[in-house]
Amino acid sequence: MKPDRAGSRVPTGYFVHKEWPYEPRFKRVNGWRMHYIDEGGGDPVVLLHGNPAWGFLYRKFVKPLTAAGRRVIVPDMIGFGLSEKPVREQAHSLDGHIANLTSLLRQLDVRNATMVCHDWGGPTGLGFALSNSDRVRALVIMSTWAWPLPPAEFHKRIFPWRMMHAPLAGPYLLGKHNALAGRGMYLSVVDRKKFQDEAQSAYESVLPDPGSRLLTWTWPRWIPLDETARGFRRFEWLERELKRSKFPTMLVWGREDEVFDHKTFATRFKELLPHAEGPELVTGRHFLQEDSGAEIAKKINDFLDRIHERQP
C-alpha cells in the first residue's frame, strides 16, 4: 500500500485467493474509496464484518446465497480489507461508519435488503437499518451488541483487552505486530489448524504495515465502558429504536463465543426483539463464520424462505 495525498492507505493491487474469485468493485463514500463485491441477483443480502476482519470472512456464504436466487453484497468497512485506510483516528467513529455504509447502499439503490450483522457490523448495520427502514426487509444478528451498558465482561478486563487499546500498547501490539488480525483471530475460532492453513494469511496480508492497522486498535475505543463514553448516546439510540423494530429477525450465535457469550447477549437481543427466531447455536467462537459458514448460510436461506412463505 502507499499513502495518498490525504495520508490514507490505498490498496495498490487486488487480493487473489482461490476461495475469493469475485470481481472487486469500488465506490466513493464520504470521500473514501470503499471496496465491495456484488454477486448474483434478486433481493439483496448485505454481509457485514467487524474488527479486524473484512469481506473474506463471508467467503462460504456467497455461493449458497447466490445459488438460492439472492443478490449478495459484501462491503469492506473503510479502514479494512481492500477499502481505503485513513491514518487519522478522527476518520473513525461509529456514526462515520454508519454514514459510509449508508452512502454505499444508497448508491447501489439497495432495497428489500436482509442485513447480516456481526461484531462491529452489528451497530453499523443496525444503525443503517433503523434509519433506512424503507430499504430493509429482515435482520440476521450474530455475536454483537446494540446497547450502551453493560459491555461484555471481556471488554472490562484490564488484561488483555483494555491494555491492548491503551495509547502506547495499542499501537505497539496491534499496530506494529498486527496482534488482533494474527493471534487474536486465531484464538477466536474453534478449528485453529484449519484457520491457520486456509485463512489467517488473508486477514494479515490486507493489513501489511502499522499505518494500515489504525482501526484495529482505535475502533474498540468506541465500546462504552461508562456513561461518559463517546459512543454512549448512539448506543442508547440503537437500543431504543431496536425495541420498536418489527423486522423479521433471526439470531445466530457461536456456542463457544467468549467475547459475546450467547447466554448473555443472544438472550438480551431476544428481550429486545421477542419476535426474533433463535438463537440458532452453531460451532464457533467469536468468528463463527470461519467454523460454520456453510451452515449459517443455509440457515439464512431457510429463514428468508420462511419469510417469503408468510407473505400474503
| Cα 68 from Cα 76, distance rounded (Å) | 23
106-163 pLDDT, tens digit each? 999 999 999 999 999 999 999 999 999 999 999 999 999 999 987 777 777 766 666 6
CATH number at residue 107: 3.40.50.1820
pLDDT band at residue 7 using 50, 70 and 90 as cut-offs: very low
Mean pLDDT, all residues of the chain: 90
Segment 233-243 shows an average pLDDT of 96
Backbone φ, ψ for residue 3 (5° rounding): -75, 140
Q: Cell 426474533 identifies what position?
A: 276
For 245, the 3-state DSSP assignment is: coil
* Helical spans, DSSP H, in the chain: 59-67, 94-107, 121-131, 153-156, 163-164, 169-170, 185-186, 192-198, 200-205, 214-218, 232-244, 265-272, 288-310
279-303 pLDDT, tens digit each? 999 999 999 999 999 999 999 999 9
12-38 pLDDT, tens digit each? 456 778 889 999 999 999 999 999 999
| Cα 312 from Cα 309, distance rounded (Å) | 8
Domain carrying residue 99: 2-310
Count of domains in the chain? 1
Distance of CA 178 to the CA centre of its chain: 19
